Structure 1
Amino acid sequence: MPPHDQPIALEFFAGGGLARLGLSARFDVAWANDLDAMKCKAWRDNFGADGLVEGDVANIQVDDLPPRPALAWASFPCQDLSLAGDRAGLTGGRSGTLFAFMARLAELRDRGDPPEVVVLENVKGLLSSHGGRDLAAIFSSLSGLGYVAGCLEMDAAWFLPQSRSRIFIIAVRQNLEIPTALLSHHDRPCVFQTPAILKAQAALPNALKWFVPSPPKPSVSLPDILDPTDTSWWDADKLTIFQQQLSDKHRGRLDALLGTPGRHLGAMYRRIRREDGLKQQRAEIRFDGKVGCLRTPAGGSSRQFWLVVDRGTLNIRPINPREAMRLMGVPDSYQLPKGTLAGLKIAGDGVAVPVVSWLSEQLLAPLVACSRS
């Protein structure tokens, strides 16, 4: 379908445009907004300047938004909701910007132009933030704007070799007659209706139980991600420090692999753990075919590293920006920003592209089609 025939999507909190990459097969992302200058430059470098508004979402004018939007997507800031953040919730300065987005939705409604579908994406901490009150506040706000909503928990590990669980709130206009094929029930369970989702939604009146089918088995494995041209492997001194940071449990895992033939690819994070009342920095490893959830590069525990065990030899180096983008399902044609930290920030703050693509294909596009039929 030519872009001008596709339904229009608005990409709020756009970052480097990863949601756009996932939506573009079925939507024309005709407008986007972000506050971060580096991310906006990356967006323009990859998609052009047309339609991008750099600035605070609170300052967006409704007249700047294109007419008849079908979808409003908002991957709103997660720092105040993340388990790694300070858990300030929606009262925090960053995640609280969600309500500026809600104000833009209200203005679109008042213009007589409300999006048929709204998607909010955030970390799993949203489900439990302030004992579930933040999630209830979001549902209440959407209801006041004329929407009914439901949640899904989708892990990038269904599509990519990265553990990255995210919550998606999908809302539609209250007067829409939703096809039963798009709803889950006890005879038709949905893998993305996880126990955490079911528990959270049990406290929410009229919450919808969306159905999205399980995707095919991932075609990308961890070795496909590795950049063979990167030779920034650690020297002997760094490897010694790493060995000292292993707990007995993780040292046992590594020693077992070092004693086996073949090549093994794994990942490592540094963590601060409390042991015997004292804080200790620990190196924690995994060799299960996945890396841990990518984070923005802020703080000593945010960087992730490759571990390669090959015939008794250990090598370690950081995951580079291109590899991080591959772990997010971003094609190598994507132009990275200058600087290692900038590229890692876009990946760590982003949403996995194939997750968005699958959600768009299986639920969002059918909902828009139903609304416009």
Structure 2
Amino acid sequence: MILPQITLSSSAVTRPFTFYEFFAGGGMARLGLGEHWQCAFANDFDAVKAATYRANFTDAAAHFHEGDVWALSAGDLPGCADLAWASSPCQDFSLAGGRAGLAGGRSSAFFGFWRLMEALDEAGRAPRLLVIENVSGLLTSNDGADFVALGAALASRGYHFGALEIDAAVLLPQSRPRVFVIATRDVAPGLIGDSPFHTRAVKAAQARLSTTLARHWVWWGLSAPPRRNTDLAALLEADAAVAWHTTDQTARLLSLMNPLHRARINTLSARSVGAVFRRTRIEHGLPVQRAEVRFDGLAGCLRTPRGGSSRQAILVVEPDQIRSRLLTPREAARLMGLPDSYRLPASATGALHVAGDGVAVPVVRWLAQELLEPLLAESSAMAAE
């Protein structure tokens, strides 16, 4: 699988930008930032993700630290990076989690990251640019109070900030909405404007800010990328190369669908590929397990594996038969924009965990090309005047 070709804008860099990558996982943000960026430090506490990072980056020994972010100090971070990227654990922000917000156990790891930024600021080494990536629930958790708290933290250190809600489906055949909070000390007026990523949720989150915090808000003018021309079927393995469910297993999956989804299948006359998730729905006041299928050319949002029901399935409908199977780890990696040369963990569970807990690579590349790199370039130009 080949990553979408995204060319550098006119603000091509003359030296590598440096960055720290926190909660790095398998290094997908690094891959997205690309060759014009140099990683000065990366960390993750998960052993499987750490091993995957090391397997894919030959220079990992020089800058990767495996361990809890709370165990780090500013002294562990070299130099003064242009960017700090943080994709902190998202379970407490997602609909699948307890919606505990920033006070939640794992998502409170954000404050482990933030105390490092505060320490760097005290030492005069604060990054010029911060990117905080998370699930869309960040905008609404605790009735929006968590996003306000995040904004207050950023503003307290002199950062201006704005949020973009980007669905990876604009670049990849996977529905994966995520929030990117971009914070900077120097606001470049030329990068402010309208954006299709100023969603209703982003606008509502901004409206909850106090008058004081609103003065720190920036409406980042990120444009939409060229229209995606790849669908789910294009990323799948050949039929003969994968293990299919038995007839009984497929019948069981179909039996979990409600009449609407079954009717959708019955209308198909040519080969059609769909993505299936099993979910628990409340019907007539009772929890019911359902299989839900989509045939819009997109996979559903990849999840980290927590048992068979959390794994996405593929349904192939043909005139003479219906077959089903589980999504393979390599297909999951492709849905995140990872090249086939990317080394996945040997176990399916480990590979799906790395892929499902990452950030979509082409989205990071688009964000870097259209906003982060121009922002740093303009910041440098402003400082030189």
Given the two structures, how large is their TM-score scaled by the length of structure 2?
Answer: 0.91
Structure 1 stretches of 4+ moved >4 Å: 1-4
The share of aligned pairs that are identical, in percent, is 47
Partner of 2:161: 149
- The corresponding residue for 2:4 is none
Q: Which residue of 2 aligns with 1:139?
A: 151
Question: 2:234 corresponds to which residue?
Answer: 224
Shift of 1:24: 2.0
Aligned equivalent of 1:372: 380
2:3 alignment counterpart = none
1:279 Cα offset (Å): 1.3
**Contact residue 58 and residue 101 of structure 1 kept, 8 A:** yes
Runs of 5+ unmatched residues, structure 2: 1-7
Paired with 1:4 and 1:64, the residues of 2 have a C-alpha distance of 27
SS of residue matched to 1:169: strand
Whole-angstrom distance in 1 between the partners of 2:234 and 2:62 = 34
Is contact 2:45–2:68 with CA below 8 Å preserved after alignment?
A: yes
Q: CA deviation at 1:275?
A: 1.3
Q: Give the unaligned 5+ runs of structure 1.
A: none
Q: How many residues align?
A: 363
- Which amino acid counterpart does residue 30 of structure 2 have in structure 1? R
Whether 1:81 aligns to 2:93 is yes
Q: Name the CA distance, whole Å, in 2 between partners of 1:134 and 1:312.
A: 52
The answer to whether structure 1 residue 118 and structure 2 residue 130 are counterparts is: yes
1:250 Cα deviation from its structure 2 partner: 0.7
1:248 to 235, 259, 282: 259
Quick one: which of 175, 182, 191 aligns to 1:182?
191
Identify the residue that residue 29 of structure 1 maps to in structure 2.
Answer: 39
The residue identity in structure 2 corresponding to 1:196 is: A
CA contact (8 A) 1:162 1:327 kept: yes
Aligned with residue 310 of structure 1, among 309, 318, 321: 318
Please tell me whether residue 330 in structure 1 is matched to residue 338 in structure 2: yes
Q: Report the Cα distance in structure 2 between the residues aligned to 1:214 and 1:170, rounded to whole angstroms.
A: 17
1:95 partner SS: coil
Q: 1:122·1:167 contact (CA, 8 Å) conserved in 2?
A: yes
Looking at structure 1, the residues matched to 13 and 77 of structure 2 have their Cα atoms a distance apart, in angstroms, of 17
- TM-score computed with the length of structure 1 as normaliser: 0.94
Alignment check: 8 A CA contact 2:245 2:324 kept: yes
**One-letter code aligned to 1:71:** L
Instruction: State the alpha-carbon separation in 2 of the partners of residues 224 and 50 from structure 1.
Output: 37
Q: Which amino acid aligns with 1:198?
A: K
Offset at 1:64?
1.6
Distance in 1 between residues matched to 2:255 and 2:317, nearest whole Å: 17
Q: Measure the CA separation in 2 of the matches of 1:319 and 1:253.
A: 21
Q: CA–CA distance in 2 between the matches of 1:316 and 1:296?
A: 20
Q: Which residue in the other structure is 2:305 paired with?
A: 297
Of 41, 46, 57, the match for 2:51: 41
Cα offset, 1:165, TM superposition: 0.3
Counterpart mapping for 1:278-297 below 5 A: 278-297=286-305
Counterpart of 2:104 in structure 1 is 92
Give, in whole Å, the separation in 2 of the partners of 1:231 and 1:326. Answer: 15
Which one-letter code corresponds to 1:27 in the other structure? W
1:199 aligns with 2:192: no
* Secondary structure class of the residue paired with 1:30: strand
Q: RMSD across aligned C-alpha pairs, in angstroms?
A: 1.6
Rounded Cα–Cα distance in structure 2 between residues aligned with 1:267 and 1:33: 33
Q: Is the 8 A contact 2:20 2:81 kept in 1?
A: yes
Residue 248 of structure 2: which of 209, 223, 237 is its match?
A: 237
Q: In the alignment, which of 20, 26, 29 is matched to residue 19 of structure 1?
A: 29
Q: In structure 1, what residue type is equivalent to 2:49?
A: K
Counterpart residue identity of residue 190, structure 1: S
Aligned residue in 1 for 2:70: 58
Among 113, 117, 123, the alignment partner of 1:105 is 117
